[in-house]
Amino acid sequence: MRKKSKSIGLILAGLAVPVMMTSWGLAQPGKFTSPSEGYIPHLGEIMSAIQARHVKLWYAGKAANWDLAAFELRQLKANLVDAARLYTGIPVSNVTTMAEPMQSVEAAIGAKDARRFSQAYAGLTEACNGCHVSMQRPFIVIHAPTEPQPLGDQSLSPQHRP
Ligand code: HEC
């Protein structure tokens, strides 16, 4: 088990670095000690968070809100790294197959290229479903969001504040 989590760590190094940077920026040790420290979210909860980010990522990309898209992708990666770390029963290959599609989405966001973004997003979504199928969850079928837009309490378009 120890060996396995090490290899996940290594293979996901590209994913884990921005995640670690994010937590370094936000979690200031000793400053905010959460009462829920030690709480282990159920895999389904992590996946529900991933789902929300997958949706926001899509609308942010569609709205050319590249900063938000980059943020949502980072959050999604962090959730996935959590899933791999907390649920060591998940086959390593199921997690690592996400790395390439995520890098493609990242590259499309960096290039602010809407067409590449749509293609890369489709690849990412396919990888979600690939894992669901291989983990006896073929009934959890993910696709790009369709209207009407959910999460109606957050503006997913760029805000032009004066
Ligand atoms: C490494 C494997 C894996 C990957 C990759 C993965 N999932 Fe999942 N997902 C699961 C498993 C396993 C479950 C079932 C969890 C359970 O039984 O509680 C699940 C459940 C879900 C659920 C149902 C949650 C609920 O409780 O209703 C959603 C939605 C979901 N995943 C979305 C996604 C999306 C979106 C992606 C891609 C961005 C993704 N998943 C990638 C393994 C994966």
Domains of the chain, residue spans: 1-25+64-147
Give CA 67 to chain center in angstroms. Answer: 15
**End-to-end C-alpha distance for the chain, whole angstroms:** 53
Ligand 1 geometric centre to CA of 126 (Å): 12
Confidence of residue 20 (pLDDT cuts 50, 70, 90): very low
Does residue 48 have its Cβ closer than 6 Å to ligand 1? yes
Q: What is the pLDDT of residue 34?
A: 61
| Protein residue whose Cα sits closest to atom 26 of ligand 1 | 44
Measured from the Cα of 76, ligand 1's closest atom is 38
Contact between 156 and 59 (Cβ < 8 Å): yes
Tell me if 6 CB under 6 Å of ligand 1.
Answer: no
**Protein residue closest via CA to atom 22 of ligand 1:** 47
3-state helix, strand, coil in the chain (%, to 5): 65, 0, 35
**Rounded to an integer, what distance in angstroms lies between the CA atom of residue 60 and that of residue 155?**
9
Q: Could you list the beta-strand ranges (E) of 91-134.
A: none
Question: Could you tell me the CA-to-CA distances from 94 to 16, 28, 62, 74, 154 in Å, in that order?
Answer: 16, 32, 28, 19, 31
Task: Read off the pLDDT of residues 69-127 as tens digits, 9 standing for 90 and up.
Answer: 999 999 999 999 999 999 989 988 888 899 999 999 999 999 999 999 999 999 999 99
Q: Is the CB of 4 under 6 A from ligand 1?
A: no
With pLDDT > 90 as the criterion, what percentage of the chain qualifies? 60
pTM, two decimals, is: 0.82
CB of residue 99 inside a 6 A radius of ligand 1: no
